[in-house]
Chain A
């Protein structure tokens, strides 16, 4: 998007183009169907049936009007540039009417029109209907993140350093020098290296940097390696494990039973009665945990469902009583193991039982 934006800005700056180009921005996320899209186009073109900011007329009228307006034009007309973001979403519109018409106008020698589609799907051409695809010029520009770690570090530096035209010259030098030194440090480098290896995406990098920079305050005016480390720690938490850590002891027992059962039944779905059976076996042997009534255990089980740690199987919900409804467990044994290790004040007998229950998992 930024690339297209820059190009458009440049185009507009050129003296001779100033009055000859109309830009039309469309976004697939906002324009969910052709009707809305068409209204938006009419609005952006400031055509006759627009009063103030409102558009009148039905969909058919709008389309006919728009097509007619575009068709009667010739080479002398102002050129239109359509910039279509999230192009793939437009392909799901009914009959692909809008893009078909746009491509059709491009093909025929009428008003000069350029259509620039932006998408992140590599297979977007396959989504197009045959008649639409044949009208498409098949010119594609792929923007891959083709840079190595050194380039990446340069990008980081560029992002963090203050620009040339910053008002306070002294402060700028101080800050930029500091950043330069910081990026040479091993700690910061390893954080960025890890970030680079998980995701080369610049947006993710920006997220990391925003998190680090937001920690700057009056007391700590400069970035430190620890800021980077904190930010990365915040960003790379295992979300599920951290949710598991907040469960009550009873829910933890259920989680362990469920993971054990799924391994036992080779990933078949299980139901509450099975889990309760396992729980009973545990509670009767280890008597120090008070035996809890079935209804209370069921409440804990339902809490796990609202957290979507287990999800009900679709189908049979209405024809099966609640305790027998099949659920699928969405937890990995390794995750559970890790969560148990970090669980505060875990009773010893539960720990032993858990290690026994989860022992058959490699």
Chain B
């Protein structure tokens, strides 16, 4: 409880540091205050474990790294995505904190016991008082044994050193609990930025040569298209920077002045909508997108279509019979077996008018997904839709296994049931329509859902 003392000796470098952080980090004042309070000043024991969570790109790592840099405390920063074995975690922490004694080549530490022993030893040798261990993407730690997380959470108690473990994650703390008791950390939420804050942060990277007002006006346009879909700051920033040259184009040509925002908006809006469906999904890379805007300005719709075509895997060249096999499998997957007679038997004889007792609200197959079917059924459909006589050679069957390895089909049966294999069709409607067009087969008239 010696916090009160510190109040009297006004340490100016600290206040200066805080101001510096405040300048570089926007809209995170409250979080910064709480964090600074918990991490403590030089001679205070820091809080043993802090859990920082919030959406992607809400400045969690950024704020923390700024604080640590500013106050120059020893810390180890581990991104848990990189850690596939516990050894990497231990050695990473040790080599970052005690870089003078440990180099990556000589260090060997593969269990928690050794880690704590070495940690204590080194900390005593180097006379380190306060240390921080930051674990970014902490949700990956759940892939290890639960004891690892539990031990990390009480590292302060286990090592008896003034260290604090800070976990950063996108996922809420409730999902970390796992049977064995965990030391509950102090939780700190980073809320999503609101629209004004997003504008403020994005306007920081206003390109030179343009006024800030002009750029903010542009950002408003960008937000009007993208804000509905995503609030991810990183994504918005990327899209804003990418499309800015296009926005300025009419000004460069001299047709529109900088103040005429309505015309600029008219000009850019269709492009942004295009970008939403292409660049945002990474169907078109930013390089392609830029090229397409700067080099040639002809017919956007057609060109973008060209660009995305490489992405739409809807055009795969397959052998003739494979195509029919795939079509047959699709029909078998998405049609119930009882309708096969209706579609594929040539001479049905007298069709009895049965009362259809189909429930109206029964969900369609195209919503529920493909159902597994036995091989026999698929072959029966295959022979019925292929016009010519096909002998059931080994080639046909090897084509089926090829389709499985291409991930166009999937087997759902166990290995024991070699005699009666079951399959599922994995391709989408768009794909199969393209395939059936190439062999002049009208698939829609054979699908129960569309009749």
Binding site for B on A (CB under 8 A): 27-32, 36, 39-40, 53, 86, 88-89, 120, 160-162, 168, 171, 175, 203-204, 207, 210-211, 213-218, 221-222, 234-235, 237, 239-240, 242-243, 245-250, 271, 273-274, 277, 289-290, 292-293, 295-296, 299-300, 303, 306-308, 318-321, 323-325, 344-345
Contact = CB atoms under 8 A, between A and B. Distances in A.
Contacts of B189: 237, 239, 242
Interface string B390-433: 00000000000000000000111000000000001011100000
Contacts of B316: none
A271 B34 contact: no
A124 B194 CA distance: 50
B174 A240 contact: yes
Given A120-B181, A248-B229, A320-B424, A296 B186 contact: no
Contacts of B270: none
B180 interface: yes
Contact of A246 (B231, B281, B369): B231
17 contacts: A27-B158, A29-B112, A29-B147, A29-B151, A30-B151, A32-B111, A234-B188, A235-B187, A237-B189, A239-B173, A246-B191, A249-B227, A273-B368, A308-B172, A318-B410, A321-B369, A325-B369
Contact of B145 (A32, A88, A234): A32
B106 to A, nearest CB: 14
B309 interface: no
Contacts of B112: 29-32
* Most A CB within 10 A of own CB, among B150, B228, B363, B368: B228
Interface string B110-126: 01110011000100000
A88 B181 CA distance: 11
B184 A204 contact: yes
Interface in B163-194: 170-175, 180-181, 183-184, 186-189, 191-192, 194
B1 A89 contact: no
Contact of A207 (B54, B186, B188): B186
Given A274-B363, A308-B175, 6 more contacts: A210-B47, A295-B277, A299-B280, A320-B426, A321-B426, A323-B369
Nearest to B193: A246
A217 B227 CA distance: 39
B147 A295 contact: no
Contacts of A36: 111, 113
B276 interface: yes
Contacts of B426: 319-321
A214 B34 contact: yes
Nearest to B145: A32
Given A32-B145, A210-B47, A320 B174 contact: no
A344 B37 CA distance: 29
Contact of B4 (A32, A88, A175, A307): A175
B367 A274 contact: yes
B195 interface: yes
B53 interface: yes
Contacts of B451: none
B366 interface: yes
Contacts of B172: 239-240, 243, 308
Contacts of A250: 228-230
A234 B181 contact: no
Contacts of A247: 192, 231
B345 interface: no
Interface in B422-450: 424, 426-428
B45 to A, nearest CB: 10
A221 B228 CA distance: 45
A32 B229 contact: no
A203 B183 CA distance: 9
Contacts of A222: 4
B228 A277 contact: no
Interface string B356-381: 00000001001111101000000000
Nearest to A217: B7
The 4 closest A-B pairs by CB, nearest first: A324-B369, A246-B192, A214-B37, A239-B172
Contact of A292 (B4, B113, B229): B229
B187 A239 contact: yes
Contacts of B174: 239-240
Nearest to A236: B187
Given A29-B150, A237-B187, A240-B174, A246 B7 contact: no
Contacts of A234: 34, 186-188
For A86, A175, A239, A245, the residue with the greatest tally of chain B CB atoms inside 10 Å of its CB is A239
A211 B10 CA distance: 22
Contacts of B117: 53
A323 B429 CA distance: 12
A308 B176 CA distance: 12
A174 B186 CA distance: 29
Contacts of B304: none
Nearest to B54: A246
Given A237-B189, A289-B228, A53 B121 contact: yes
A277 B184 contact: no
B147 A216 contact: no
Nearest to A298: B281
Interface string B9-27: 0100000000000000000
Interface string B272-285: 00001100110100
Given A221-B7, A274-B367, A203 B37 contact: no
B121 A273 contact: no
A283 to B, nearest CB: 11
A116 to B, nearest CB: 17
A273 B183 CA distance: 41
A32 B367 CA distance: 47
A44 B40 CA distance: 34
A329 to B, nearest CB: 15
Contacts of A289: 228
A126 to B, nearest CB: 16
B131 interface: no
B181 A271 contact: no
Nearest to A218: B7
B3 interface: yes
Interface string B124-163: 0000000000000000000001010011001000100000
